[in-house]
Amino acid sequence: MDFELSDEQAAFRDVMRDFARRAIKPVAREWEHSGRYPAEIVEQMRELGLFGLLVPAEHGGAGVDAVSYAIVFEELARAWMGITGIIGTHSMATLLLARYGTAAQQQRWLADLASGARRSGLALTEPGAGSDLQAITTVALREGEEYVVRGTKTWITNARHADPLPVLVKTEPGAEPRHRGMSIIFVEQGTPGFSVSKDLPKLGYKGPESAEVVFEDCRVPAANLLGGEEGLGMKQALSVLEYGRINVAARAVGVAQAACDLALDYAVERHAFGRAIAEFQAIQLKLADLATEVQAARLLTWWAASRLDTGVRAEMETGMAKLFASEVALRSSLECMRIHGGYGYSTEYDAERLYRDAPLMAIGEGTNEILRTVIARQLVRQKKGEQP
């Protein structure tokens, strides 16, 4: 069992780490507090090919393995977690097209999405349907060669920049079981009836917008139905959400590592009672726990990612990684703030930003409470000898 990165993965990590330290970390605090959109960083991400991470090479993308994919999100989040949102749901949209899109859909959109000339997101969540995707009420009803889309989606990252935006809808609202009536349809910017109603204010996760989008008799060509076949949307969405959980787990590892780094730096520099506080046993115990939990979260995330690379379903493994890593991020950010004392509560230090960013990972891509039930259900199935 090899717990080390390959030479290619290690070199890729070094490139990402250098980029994050050089282009992101120096401006993160100022831009995050001002609410400034990181347009310059986005352009550099385009130049690095980060919008094509999960796009196959034949469509102009990088087609990286899942472990390398996790490395990108860890290194970016270590500098500024908000930046990861710009390529997070975008990557899942490209994966939807690469896996399930028709040849015409792939030819139409994938190359531009890989280069960053176009960007995308993923419209799943609704005001009354978060983790329970089967409870969505947005509908797309067929009328001739068009679908008429009606409904509202919320907490949609990249909503103002996504073109096209994949939207989970019900094409057969009365279907039983409910998932058989669900589909994904791609809605392009400028389509009449499609609007971004408002940006949602957030505690953390600044940088990309999170918005509410509304579809009012929005007419979309039937050719924009993912894969050209109705009733497969739930299966398609759940498939790419495994990669979503990897990117959220890796973000959490990045935030936790940043908290660990800040805590250690401060503990060595800060003196009390004539010596560095790192020499006090109470602080040493905290630092030891931080470092141990961060490394455990990283290895669990890499393990789950490597399972995806084998081509098997990894619902349980990715759920475990996201669950554990996000809880580590929460604990690490809090302990980092406590080690900083009063300074940890100041907006002049990065500890408070990490503390505000960490909760997102416990909520996004399925709340941790939901994921615990997913993991338990898979354990029971394995015990009974059932296929996942």
CATH at 215: 2.40.110.10
| Domain count along the chain | 3
288-347 pLDDT, tens digit per residue, is 999 999 999 999 999 999 999 998 889 999 999 999 999 999 999 999 999 999 999 999
User: Is residue 12 located within the same domain as residue 50?
Assistant: yes
Q: How confident is the model at residue 21 (pLDDT cuts 50, 70, 90)?
A: very high
- Of the candidates 126, 293, 352, 365, the residue annotated as catalytic is 365
| Assessment of whether the complete model's pTM goes beyond 0.85 | yes
Q: What average pLDDT does range 23-33 have in this prediction?
A: 96
Residue 28: name the closest of 245, 244, 262, 250 by CA: 262
Alpha-carbon gap, residue 251 to 297, rounded angstroms: 11
Known catalytic residue at 365: yes
Across the chain, mean pLDDT equals 96
Which structure tokens are listed for 290? 């931080």
End of a domain among 233, 253, 272?
Answer: 233
- Classify residue 119 by its DSSP letter: B
Distances (CA, A) of 313 to 89, 91, 319, 378, 387: 20, 18, 11, 11, 10
258 and 380 share one domain: yes
Residues 201-226: pLDDT tens digits? 999 999 999 999 999 999 999 999 99
Contact in structure between 138 and 170 (CB atoms under 8 Å):
yes
190 and 171 share one domain = yes
pLDDT (0 to 100) of residue 313: 87
Q: Provide the residue range defining the domain that includes 272.
A: 235-384
Task: Please tell me whether residues 353 and 267 are part of one structural domain.
Answer: yes
C-alpha dihedral, 365 to 369 to 374 to 380, nearest 10°: 170
Residue pLDDT, tens place only, 265-279: 999 999 999 999 999
- With a cut of 90, say whether residue 129 has pLDDT above it: no
Q: Looking at the structure, tell me whether residues 247 and 334 fall in a common domain.
A: yes
CATH assignment at residue 351: 1.20.140.10
Residue 387 has a pLDDT of 63
Query: Is pLDDT above 80 for 2?
Result: no
* Confidence at 3, pLDDT banded by 50, 70, 90: confident
Contact 252, 213 (CB under 8 A): no
- Domain co-membership, 262 together with 144: no
- Shared domain for 241 and 365, answered yes or no, is yes
Q: Indicate whether 372 and 242 sit together in one domain.
A: yes
% of the chain residues with pLDDT over 70: 99
pLDDT band at 388; cut points 50, 70, 90: low
pLDDT tens for residues 167-184?
Answer: 999 999 999 999 999 999
In terms of domains, do 290 and 158 share one? no
- Does residue 275 sit in the same domain as residue 329? yes
